[in-house]
Amino acid sequence: MGINKKAFFFTTVAIALSIVVIVSYNVYNFYGKKDEVKVVETRVVTMNNFIKDVEKDINNAIYIVGFRSLLSLEDYMMKYDTFFNQGGHPSLSVAFRDVFRYGTINSEKMSLMENNTFLNWTKKMIKQANKTDIKLEFTIDDVTIDQTSHWLVVISVDLNIVVKDKKNTATWTIDKVYTNTINITTGITTRFVDPLYLVNHDGILNNTIRKTPISDFGTELPTHLDNSYYIEHNDAPNYLMRFENNLGSSSCCGIESLVNSQKRMDKLLPVLDRSAVDYIYFGTGVTTNCNIQGTPPYPLWFKLDSGHLAFYEAACV
């Protein structure tokens, strides 16, 4: 009986110790997993914040790179004294896509884009991500430029973004079209010039796109003419159409200026006997034109076509 009591006692103690060990292990395992979940949660939050920062930077990058790309298009046109989509030169859409991504137009490197392309920006972001143990991958599916208002161009970048934690904690895949706009008229310093003037004036007499401050052409038409300001007109081509000399089509977002032929004469450029409305003056369309009444009289070179007389509150002599 004494032996049985001892056996029972040791068995009870063994069972108790086993329970203690099991409970201790489960408690340790529970808190270990809880700590692990907390680490993963913190990492996921960190990556999510990083993605938000990247998306903000994407919009800034689109604006900066897009601005430089438009200036590079002007530089290219000035160098070759020609429009896009003519004489072996690429279309505007192709030229913009390539200069935005690679910094080249027709395989020619543009100085303004050196280390300033969108691909350069993605490399900087990838390098920054590596510092926080994040793998970042960009695939640029497409880049487009469009105009949906008179004074704004819209740049769209179709991106595929993959974000991974180096420890495989989490992965994000984003397919999205990011857009930003550039105002072609704002700014203190000189901004964009009209491609029509750039080519037709042989690069020696450009015209910056400035929205007219004139509201009453009946009394202030001379000021509008002297400065070749721009105004909205839906029979005119928009800013982007001018890069390809597309003057035969109207646009919902058209703009126009009046060519100041006195400035042409000052630069020894020929004066054309045509309506002063820029896309008519530089185009090939046939219009009925007349000299305009004014006090003091307008110069003989200033003419308007019949379709614009009422618009500019003018009358024939």
**What is the Cα–Cα distance from 186 to 202, expressed in whole angstroms?**
25
Closest CA to 176 of 159, 164, 162: 159
CB 305, CB 289: distance < 8 Å? yes
Give this prediction's pTM.
0.84
| Lowest mean pLDDT across 71-75, 129-133, 156-160, 271-275 | 129-133
Is pLDDT of 190 > 60? no
Mean pLDDT is lowest, of 4-18, 99-113, 143-157, 167-181, for 4-18
- The whole-number average pLDDT for the span 258-263 is 96
Could you identify the residue written with the tokens 């990556």?
Answer: 47
Which residues contact residue 194 at a Cβ distance below 8 angstroms, ignoring those fewer than 6 apart? 206, 207, 208, 209, 230, 239, 242, 257, 278
**How confident is residue 167, by pLDDT bands cut at 50, 70 and 90?**
confident
Exposed e or buried b per residue across 242-279, where buried means at least 16 C-beta atoms within 10 angstroms of its C-beta: bbbbbbeeebebbbbbbbbbeebeeeeeeebebbbbbb
pLDDT band at 219 (very low <50, low <70, confident <90, very high): very high
The pLDDT assigned to 33 comes to 47
Q: What is the mean pLDDT of residues 236-250?
A: 93
Note the pLDDT of residue 188. 52
Across the chain, mean pLDDT equals: 88
Q: Identify the pLDDT of residue 11.
A: 63
pLDDT in tens, 286-296: 999 999 999 88
User: Which of 74, 93, 313, 110 shows the shortest CA–CA distance to 203?
Assistant: 74
CB count within 10 Å of CB 286 equals 9
- Segment 75-97, tens digit of pLDDT: 999 999 999 999 999 999 999 99
pLDDT tens-digit profile of 9-60? 556 655 655 555 554 545 445 444 445 556 556 667 777 888 888 998 999 9
| Residue 202 pLDDT | 82
Q: Please check the confidence at residue 159 and state whether its pLDDT lies above 60.
A: yes
Q: In the prediction, which pLDDT does 108 show?
A: 97
Is the CA virtual torsion 16, 19, 23, 25 positive or negative? positive
pLDDT, residue 178, reads: 97
Average pLDDT over residues 210-221: 94
Helix-helix angle 118-130:92-101, to 10 degrees: 30
